[in-house]
Amino acid sequence: MLRVLVKVTLMAYLVGGCAYHGPSQSDIDNPAVRKVAWFSYLDGNDIRERCAPGAPDRFRLVYNGQYEKQIRSYEITQASPNPGGAYFIARAIGPTNLAEVEINDLLAPWRWQKSESQLSGSELDQFRDLLTQSGWGNGAPQGKILHSRDFYWVASGCRNGQFHFDAWVHAQGDFPEIKFQEFLLARDKTNVAFRQPVEVGPRDRTEQGKPRDRSATIFALTVSGEGIGGLVNAF
């Protein structure tokens, strides 16, 4: 099973590279694509590429509830030709459960749970206000570290033709600033319970004292400019 996933992941990497360009070129719902394009997806690369005057407003908010235990993604795209509402897509995935392997879908344990709905014009306005109240649009927090074992939110988006990026890390005391979380969770129909943040210490981030064979993917990203600037470390 793992050998199959590695082969599929490698093929996706060779064909599409690491950048995420959106559904027309790669599919974040595909576990193999998610593995190789995750940093680019987190960065909002595809939204940045299409952000220009006259483009519909589009937002992506991602919750890292410790990468290997839970990640959630929320996409809000202004509807066209109706500029009053928006399409809302919620995705969530928890720890991999190999018992969920299906003969006709070998990648099932790594797939998102997903729900789709529509927001009214007033709901879209409410979301925009909540995002602004959270500090989005005032400049990305330069140098902020996003560690895979931490709890954090990132938000990338295009509003009125301008791209912005922001990040909030629980361990750095940022979560009281967040005003949009309840709005998103109230419209999330994935049936994956939200993983509440807990205190994370240095030993949790490095797995210090644990057998090496129990180690898993550990990485840290930095915020630079209006997005992700680079990979600090990866194990």
5 inside domain: no
2 inside domain: no
- Whether the CB-CB separation of 55 and 161 falls below 8 Å is answered with yes
Q: Could you read off the pLDDT of 94-120 as tens digits, one per residue?
A: 875 444 544 554 445 567 899 999 999
pTM of whole model > 0.85?
A: no
How many domains is the chain built from? 1
- Percentage of the residues of the chain whose pLDDT score is greater than 70: 74
Record the tokens describing residue 144, joined without a space.
Answer: 């902020």
31 inside domain: no
Task: For 67-206, list the strands marked E by DSSP.
Answer: 71-78, 86-93, 113-119, 145-147, 151-159, 162-169
As a whole number, the mean pLDDT across the chain is 82
Identify the pLDDT of residue 43.
95
Domain residue limits at 64: 45-196+215-234
Q: Could you read off the pLDDT of 26-79 as tens digits, one per residue?
A: 478 888 777 788 999 999 999 999 999 999 999 999 999 999 999 999 999 999
109 inside domain: yes
